[in-house]
Amino acid sequence: MAIDGTTKLYGIIGHPVGHSMSPAMHNAAFAATGINGVYVAMDVEDAGGAVAALQKLGFVGVSVTVPHKEAVMAHVDEIDPVARRIGAVNTLFFYRRPDGGQVVRGFNTDWQGANLALAEKIRLAGSRVLVLGAGGAARAVGFGLVEAGARVVISNRTEARGKALAGSLGCRFAGPDRLHEVEADVLVNTTSVGMEPHADDLPVDPGLLPRFSLVMDIVYAPLETRLLREAAAVGCEVIDGLAMLQYQGAVQFKIWTGVRPPVDVMRRALLEQLVAR
């Protein structure tokens, strides 16, 4: 689709942001749905300055990635109640009120991305899930699971951070040395362990993997992490890191456009981008 004077502007802000695959995913979605839009990656260090500039430039929607997901909250006019509870924003929607006033509203779609990916394989309500990590991704994943009625246990190498997250979510904490005592059906890795260039690393003792029926890794470079490879070898179902990325992006697309997202097209674009790299 040709870019012209009526093309609507979208993008992603972060630092760094050159590795992001969101432009390929969203631009493919615009093309598939016939929307005259373009999505670009923008490396910015000043979240507040970026929001103000994007609003003046007429952007419609923007994704927010590290390190700005928390800092950007101070620079939006409205925050979705769920995003406020999670304490992070990964989606901005710029719109005008009926009186003509401009508004920037912040959302968090990470939790929905994780829930939608997991819900393809399991019934979330009543499931028992061990979440590895205590960063922003763990907070979003844990929140979504608790909201869906899952019984969640948080584990993290830094005990203080892990206990703080578990406390805020109202769930249990288990240190890495106590994981053999955790009864769970699902394992979700939200850490960067196993990401290139350290693809041989594992976030958990492989001897524990037979305890789980489903293993999900949010790392997508490589797409088949060592964790997923070893989990599949002992009979676990697995979910790769593109699943959460595509679904959180699909929710963003719906927020920005009101159009049903072409999820299959978005995943295909992500896979093509991985191959190209």
pLDDT at 277: 78
Confidence of residue 1 (pLDDT cuts 50, 70, 90): low
pLDDT at 164: 97
Q: How far apart are CA 50 and CA 233, in angstroms?
A: 46
Known active-site residue 8:
no
What pLDDT digit, counting tens, does each position of 209-232 carry?
Answer: 999 999 999 999 899 999 999 999
Instruction: List the one residue out of 154, 89, 119 whose CA is nearest residue 244.
Output: 119
Look at the chain and count its residues.
Answer: 277
| CATH fold group of domain 111-239 | Rossmann fold (3.40.50)
What pLDDT digit, counting tens, does each position of 134-188 carry?
Answer: 988 999 999 999 999 999 999 999 999 999 999 999 999 999 999 999 999 999 9
What integer is the mean pLDDT of 120-127?
97
- 192 burial (CB, 10 Å; 0-12 / 13-18 / 19+) is middle
Has domain 8-108+243-276 been given CATH number 2.130.10.10?
no
Q: How far apart are CA 248 and CA 266, in angstroms?
A: 11
**DSSP reduced 3-state for 5:** coil
Instruction: List the one residue out of 2, 10, 6 whose CA is nearest residue 31.
Output: 2
**DSSP reduced 3-state for 76:** coil
DSSP H helical segments within the chain, as ranges?
22-33, 47-57, 81-86, 110-119, 136-147, 159-169, 226-233, 241-257, 263-276
Q: How far apart are CA 19 and CA 244, in angstroms?
A: 17
Q: In the chain, where are the structural domains located?
A: 8-108+243-276, 111-239
pLDDT at 276: 86
Q: Do domains 8-108+243-276 and 111-239 have the same CATH topology?
A: yes
Task: Kindly name the residue from 56, 69, 121, 163 that is annotated as catalytic.
Answer: 69
